[in-house]
């Protein structure tokens, strides 16, 4: 499996959990509320979004650049100073509340980046995880396979089944297999272009 997909700061805050054993697949189907796609597909994969793997991944990225002798000063500052500020919210989330206030107030005076209070950190990692899922879905198509993304699942049972730590959540499940004519339930009706594309 190639593991290349766009991801925020290249921190790859995702994990693909393959429900390989029969028992895990069966439990996965239940967690996916016995949806047809989950039951009919031979393979189920959970795409997990992590808010707490940034330190490990950042350290590996920086160590690799350092070993290669290609770590630039700006890059070091970015990963050492900005990234911890973005991903951490301090004891009892105090820093998170500060970030929650300082962003909108600062923005009244000049453009400021989102410093990511807790709920925005979750959005951030889910964006990257969803893009990784979409990239994987396209790669599957290129290899002649098909997939169905599913957000119709029980998130609490999913977390338990996959044994996820506190900072992790299932972004979606992917049912993977070969397409069946019966698998498409109805035509894809597109809403008008002007509802979804806007020019300023
Ligand atoms: C985030 C996301 C969640 C989805 N959840 C489900 C789901 O739980 N069950 C399902 O059968 N399809 C699910 N779908 C598939 C959509 O219903 C489907 O992509 C959409 O209706 C367009 O149809 P098409 O992709 O077959 O053209 C999901 C798609 C996305 C992107």
Q: Is 150 in the pocket of ligand 1 (CB under 6 A)?
A: yes
112: in domain = yes
Q: How far is the CA of 49 from the centre of ligand 1 (A)?
A: 19
Domain at 49, CATH number: 3.40.109.10
What's the gap in Å between 100 CA and the centre of ligand 1?
A: 33
Q: What pLDDT score does 181 carry?
A: 80
Looking at the predicted structure, is the pLDDT value of residue 60 above 90?
yes
Please say if the pLDDT value at position 61 is more than 80: yes
Q: Which of 29, 39, 135, 149 has most ligand 1 atoms within 8 Å of its beta carbon, as the pocket-test mutant? A: 149
Q: Which two tokens stand for residue 135?
A: 């990239």
**Domain span at 101:** 9-196
Taking only the tens place, the pLDDT of each residue in 181-193 is 877 778 999 999 9
Backbone angles phi, psi at 187, to 5 degrees: -65, 150
**What mean pLDDT is predicted for residues 95-106?**
92
Atom of ligand 1 nearest to the CA of 36: 11
Q: What's the pTM?
A: 0.94
Flag whether 131 is in a domain: yes
Q: Is 4 contained in some domain?
A: no
Ligand 1 pocket mutation, candidates 137, 151, 175, 185, criterion most atoms within 8 A of CB: 151
- Tens of pLDDT along 1-39? 678 999 999 999 999 999 999 999 999 999 999 999 999
Strands 168-177 and 43-50: antiparallel
* Contact (Cβ atoms closer than 8 angstroms) between residue 176 and residue 64: no
């Amino acid at each position: 499996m190639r593991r290349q997909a766009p991801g925020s700061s290249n921190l790859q805050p995702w994990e693909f959990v393959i429900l390989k054993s029969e028992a895990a697949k069966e439990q996965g189907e239940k967690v996916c509320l016995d949806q047809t796609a989950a039951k009919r597909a031979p393979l189920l994969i959970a795409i997990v979004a992590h808010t707490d793997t940034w330190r490990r991944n950042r350290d590996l990225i920086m160590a690799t650049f350092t070993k290669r002798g290609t770590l630039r000063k700006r890059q070091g500052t970015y990963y050492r100073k900005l990234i911890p500020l973005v991903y951490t919210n301090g004891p009892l989330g105090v820093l998170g509340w500060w970030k929650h206030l300082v962003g909108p107030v600062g923005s009244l005076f000049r453009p400021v980046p989102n410093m990511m209070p807790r709920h925005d950190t979750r959005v951030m990692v889910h964006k990257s995880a969803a893009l990784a899922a979409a990239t994987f879905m396209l790669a599957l198509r290129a290899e002649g396979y098909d997939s169905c993304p599913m957000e119709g699942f029980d998130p609490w049972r999913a977390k338990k089944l996959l044994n996820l730590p506190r900072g992790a959540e299932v972004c979606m499940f992917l049912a993977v297999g070969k397409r069946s004519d019966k698998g498409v339930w109805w035509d894809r009706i597109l809403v008008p272009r002007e509802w979804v594309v806007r020019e300023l």
